[in-house]
Amino acid sequence: MKIRINGIDADIQPDTEKTVGEVLSALESWLFGSGHRLSGLSIDGDAARVETMEACFTREIDSIGILDIHTRALTELLAESLIHVMQDITDYEEADYEQKTHFAVSWQESPGARLLAEQSSELYHWIVQAFSGSGSSTHVIRTIVEERLRELHDPIGETARTQPVVEEICKRLEEFPLDIQTGKDARAAETINVFSGIAEKVFRMYRVLRIEGCITDEVMVENTPIDTYISEFNTALQELLAAYEQRDTVLVGDITEYEMAPRLRNVHAAVLHTITQSKGV
């Protein structure tokens, strides 16, 4: 049996696999690692359909001449899912009361919803809550989805546009101990919330750029692997969470000022430097 992936002969020879399903299972880790997902399947030129997929999976490979596997980049699939969400929001807003009562349940069964549940569980739950008539409004969800689409369509530009926001929150982190000492608890809480959102955004774009190949394990920033910056940030974050749980406000203040602020700057600068070099901009 010859295996082709997106029309290109693949140097893959089944070992112990006996069925198409077993071959696909063996390829699953490679697909996930390359940032792709299975999008279609053809056996000897006959494209698999939803109703024939189970039969295709159980088909023995000895009876197959050519197995065509079609994949798509995860970023493309996510963007497509988010575009569908934008239309779903419009449909929900235009639906009558009876239709809205069933909207969330129906939406959760869609392929796009299942992908979001796997790749962006927090956003998925926000959307479910909005379509259930609780949680954030559809207007807020639309704004969030638009932002996520910008991250997928233009991760380089979005990373660059985030720079002043990163700098602003880093300054707030450096002022965090003073805010605690002077009783500005509301401002301190807001700082942590904004920091959390900005850090998540930077890491989302890092992940997108890794999937697209802009960032690799070989990338060095000032003679340091870029993943070292990520690892150092995560270590400091765990220390911050532990101090928060112990309600050690002095230690929380020290970590935010001397650990989180510089490390967030370093991570963002490293990501921005890397993509600038890789794209020659």
Same domain, yes or no: 82 and 67: no
Answer with the one of 132, 153, 174 that is the final residue of a domain.
153
Last residue of a domain, one of 153, 184, 204: 153
Domain boundary among 104, 120, 153: 153
Statement to judge: residues 176 and 267 lie in one domain: yes
Phi, psi at 19, each rounded to 5°:
-125, 165
Pair (28, 113) in one structural domain: no
CATH code for the domain in which residue 49 is found = 3.10.20
- Say yes or no: 85 and 128 in one domain: yes
Q: In this structure, are 7 and 54 located in the same domain?
A: yes
Q: pLDDT tens for the chain, 281 residues: list them.
A: 899 999 999 888 888 889 999 999 888 877 777 778 888 899 999 999 878 888 999 999 999 999 999 998 889 999 999 999 999 999 999 999 999 999 999 999 998 999 999 989 999 999 999 999 988 899 999 999 999 999 999 888 898 899 999 999 999 999 999 999 999 999 999 999 999 999 999 989 888 888 777 777 666 777 788 888 889 999 999 999 999 899 999 999 999 999 999 999 999 988 888 777 765 54
Instruction: Give the count of domains, the chain.
Output: 3
- Judgement on whether residues 206 and 95 belong to the same structural domain of the protein: no
Residues 53 and 134 in one domain: no
Q: 11 and 123 share a domain?
A: no
Q: Whole-prediction pTM value? A: 0.81
- If asked whether residues 84 and 145 sit together in one domain, one would say yes
Within this chain, do residues 205 and 190 fall inside the same structural domain, yes or no? yes
Residues 109 and 166 in one domain: no
Residues 60 and 89 in one domain: no
Residue 204: domain span: 157-279
